[in-house]
Amino acid sequence: MSRRRFLHVLVAAVVVVCMGAVSGSLHAQGNSEAAFERVREVQLQHTAILMAQEGVLGTAIGLNERGQPALAILLERPGIAGIPKWLDGVPVEPVVTGKIYAVPKPENPGGKDKPGQPSNETNPKKRFDRPVPIGVSTGNVESCSAGTIGCRVTDGSNVYALSNNHVYALENTATEGSNVVQPGLYDTKPPCRVYPENVIGTLADYVKLEFDGTPNYVDAALALTDTARLGNATPVNGYGVPNSTTTQASIGLRVQKYGRTTGLTKGSVSLTDATVVVSYGSVDATFEHQIIITPSTFSGAGDSGSLIVTDDPKKNPVGLLFAGSSTVTVANPIDFVFALLGVWIDDE
């Protein structure tokens, strides 16, 4: 089902570009590229050892209180012992994220989420007339859950709805060609009811999630659809149509997203190049080269699959939201997603 791509080769090529972009951002803030590269070297040398320690969820690259490039150590809770202040001459910044989850399936179908949207024409949890906007409730008919339509993409021949693997492919378990609906079954009335008229496409492709310690880079999937059933803009209270030009995440970059649960929210990139353990309920997956966004209100359960774009008139795609904690949001770099799925934004 999933295309067999040269995952590591493609990601390595994109990483080179990403590292250059982030280095340039740090340099613009008065930090030398050499200082950033040194943090990166130390991260590579020490991440495995650090993550073997109980309570350490990962590492990332950020800035300390003095604005210097620093190695961030992501912690499940405060008070983790043995966290150094320096590693090989590089400052270390402990960051308490709390446990990070691929935004869990809702537990109360038909109930109210908090925070939520009013029941009106801009409520992203409701059923929309076709073509449906992006940024609203969606899911696979094989699960009574709901995530978010990230955007409409194309491979030059077909158009697709982009969301997460755990939204559309159900963590590698969904049936090939299974129906994808809007809204997700969690949001139907009565809940968990399959209505044929809610179908907007079929599961077409996904990047397989690995739960054996092999590094993951994206949590992403595609549903084959058409322009009659899926539009390319958010509801009217969102940011509109995303651009086809992408922007690399950099520390301090202002971003926004529109999602099924929290609607339009704004935040900023606080950490880049994160290696982090993400919980998928009974199993964990390790992701590399991820983006971390704050504040805590940037996303909530059900926002999985949201497209994150720059908070400016360009609205350039930056990341694909897939996980979070009580304090942070985690996203895949959008260039990784597009490269691995062979698609790009359909903004026509």
Selection from 43, 36, 31 nearest residue 20 by Cα: 36
Q: What average pLDDT does the structure give for the chain?
A: 90
CATH number for the domain harbouring residue 138: 2.40.10.10
What is the per-residue pLDDT for 274?
A: 98
Indicate if the pLDDT at residue 6 is higher than 80. no
Give the model's pLDDT for residue 118: 45
Give residue 107's pLDDT. 56
Say if 182 falls within a structural domain.
yes
Q: For the chain, how long is the longest CA-to-CA vector?
A: 61
Q: Which domain, by its residues, includes 242?
A: 102-348
> Is there a domain that residue 23 lies in?
no
More confident residue, 347 or 29: 347
Band of residue 28 on the pLDDT scale cut at 50, 70, 90 = very low
Average pLDDT of the residues in 82-97: 96
Arithmetic mean of pLDDT, 312-335: 98
Q: What is the mean pLDDT of residues 36-55?
A: 95
Comparing 222 with 10, the larger pLDDT belongs to 222
Indicate if the pLDDT at residue 109 is higher than 90: no
Residues 6+ apart with CB under 8 A from 256: 239, 264, 265, 266, 267, 308, 309, 310, 311, 315
Q: SS3 of 201, please?
A: strand
CA separation for the pair 231, 86 (Å, rounded)? 50
Mean pLDDT along residues 219-237 = 98
Long-range own/partner contacts, residues 28-35 (CB < 8 A, 24 or more apart): 29/63, 29/67, 29/251, 29/252, 30/67, 31/63, 31/67, 31/68, 31/69, 35/68, 35/69
249 in any annotated domain:
yes
**pLDDT tens digits, 129-176:** 999 999 999 999 999 999 999 999 999 999 999 999 999 999 999 999
Residue 8 has pLDDT above 60, yes or no: no
Band (pLDDT 50/70/90 cuts) for residue 34 is: confident
Rounded to two decimals, what is the model's pTM? 0.91
Banded model confidence at residue 30, pLDDT cuts 50, 70, 90: very low
For residues 328-338, average pLDDT: 98
Residue 72 lies in a domain: no
Residue 2 placed within a domain: no
**Residue 297 placed within a domain:** yes
**Count: domains in the chain:** 1
pLDDT-derived band at 35 (thresholds 50, 70, 90) equals: confident
Q: What's the mean pLDDT in 205-229?
A: 98
Span 311-321, mean pLDDT? 98
What's the sign of the alpha-carbon dihedral 152, 156, 158, 162? negative
Q: Residue 11: inside a domain, yes or no?
A: no
Are the C-beta atoms of 221 and 168 separated by less than 8 Å?
yes
The token duo for 31 is 């930090």
Domain-embedded: residue 46: no
pLDDT of 177 over the 90 cut: yes
Confidence of residue 196 (pLDDT cuts 50, 70, 90): very high
